[in-house]
Structure 1
Amino acid sequence: MADERTPRFQDTRAEDVRPKDDSWVPASILPTPEPQDGWTFRWIRTSVNGEPDNQNVSRKFREGWVPVKASEHPELKIQSDYKSQFKDNIEQGGLLLCKAPKEKMDARNKHYQELARQQMEGVDAQYMSQNDPRMPLMEPEKSTRTTFGKG
């Protein structure tokens, strides 16, 4: 009987070697769910320093936010908080993952943008109403700029 095995020195382990992936990113504390058409996601505060913040949760629920079920997003692989009052949902570090219809949140954002615009008009009107000849007024500059390092 002839030995049909290949000699040990001819064996290679190339197929046993796992491909190297040198890119590594630390896991985020609050994972981001897979996007869903028509929905916006947000983390809602449920507690501060271990004390429940029911007032904040109630207000957010009235705004249209709905808790996300853990079964809807198994890709998050998250362990919910111990003693959570939202057992079947995704809660991490006193924050609850919620979702709301995109149209409703777009309308909410538009409302707050309009409110901010009105406030800026009020500030500008108050500034321009100053009438002291010792301090001539200049048109307010409304641009922002961010720089990093030595400029």
Structure 2
Amino acid sequence: MSDKRNVRANEARNSVRDEESRPMTAWKPPSLLDAPEARPGYVQRWVATSIQGKESPDNVYKRMREGWEPRPADTVKSKLYPTINHGQWAGSIGIEGMLLCEMPEE
């Protein structure tokens, strides 16, 4: 008698919509430093503007002497990337003391 009572509990409950609409992908943790794809003809990297809350202008200016320039937020079609709204780097892509910089490929 107890065999008949749990028949539905033993059935697999898969949603057809879920199986057909979602591609099989491996989960990966989100990153604070996700960046947009580099523009054609450019390479890019994150440059630290502050370390442990203390400004580090020497690091930024060293990278600029190497040819790195801040990437303007208006060069990205998607508005999903963090933008610096004030200060010296206003209008550039950046987050948490990091500034996205780019330079032409050699």
How does the TM-score come out when normalised to structure 1? 0.49
| One-letter amino acid of the structure 2 residue matched with residue 94 of structure 1 | G
Determine the C-alpha separation between the residues in 1 that align with 2:74 and 2:84.
16
Give the fraction of aligned pairs with identical amino acids, expressed as a percent: 32
Aligned to 1:132: none
Mark the runs of 5 or more structure 2 residues left unpaired by the alignment. Answer: 1-15
Structure 2 vs 1, CA of residues 81 and 67 (structure 1 numbering), >3 Å: closer, same or farther? closer
**Residue 94 of structure 1, CA deviation:** 0.8
Determine the C-alpha separation between the residues in 2 that align with 1:84 and 1:58.
16
Structure with the larger helix share:
1
Higher RCO (C-alpha 8 Å, min separation 6): 2
Determine the C-alpha separation between the residues in 1 that align with 2:85 and 2:51.
15
Aligned to 1:141: none
| One-letter amino acid of the structure 2 residue matched with residue 64 of structure 1 | G
Determine the C-alpha separation between the residues in 1 that align with 2:72 and 2:35.
14
1:116-131 matches, cutoff 5 A: none
What secondary structure, in the 3-state scheme, does the structure 1 residue paired with 2:78 have?
helix
CA RMSD of aligned residues (A): 2.4
Mark the runs of 5 or more structure 1 residues left unpaired by the alignment. Answer: 1-13, 104-151
Structure with the larger strand share:
2
Decide which structure has the larger Cα Rg and report it: 1
**Residue 84 of structure 1, CA deviation:** 5.2
